Amino acid sequence: MSRVPENRKDIKLLGTISCVSVFSHELLHILEVTYYQVVTDYISIGIYSLLLIIILITVRLHKPEYARYPYLFVFTPILILLFFPFIQGTDVLTSLILKLIQAGCIISLLLIIIAHFELFKRGWQTGITIFLLATSYLIYWFLPEQYNQEMWMWQPQLAVSMLLLAVNFPYIYYKNDK
């Protein structure tokens, strides 16, 4: 978070909230509290909504000033949390919503990286990041038999891709500062 410019406090705040949410999600796995599934579903949807907000802020920053949509529009993914109770309890719909939101985050991130590839200091690391994110997504959602037996297949890929992304992605916010 220290690599993000000081004038982007909104991204720093949202990133910090996302990190705390991920930590609390993992903590709930360990503690096995009552209503565990309900709470972790809400935290998961909240994390992905925050990631979509960060992506929307990034897209908004890279548009010319005359073409930018109003700042409040970047917070529309919060509506997912408001409408989530209507489908909660239906495992098929919940997993479908999670799949679509995660795929949307990865595809949006891929498009941002392709559009602004020249801003990244190490392009090969960025390519590896997208590859690892996509393969961990595919292994987790579309190869469930490997997920149940060998959790180690997708988790290290996801961890490495998130670390590489945290190192490389903040450079994209310096475009407008030059």
CA distance 121 to 111: 17
Higher local confidence (pLDDT), 22 or 153: 22
Stretch 169-178: mean pLDDT, rounded?
Answer: 62
Please give the model's pTM, rounded to 2 decimal places.
Answer: 0.77
| pLDDT for position 165 | 75
Confidence of residue 86 (pLDDT cuts 50, 70, 90): confident
At 62 the pLDDT is: 80
Domain ranges of the chain: 1-88
pLDDT score recorded for residue 176: 54
The answer to whether the beta carbons of residues 100 and 48 sit under 8 Å apart is: no
Segment 8-66, tens digit of pLDDT = 777 777 778 877 887 887 787 777 777 777 888 888 888 888 888 888 888 888 888 88
pLDDT at 153: 66
Q: How far is CA 79 from the centre of its chain?
A: 16
pLDDT in tens, 10-20: 777 777 887 78
Tokens in use for 51?
A: 């990631």
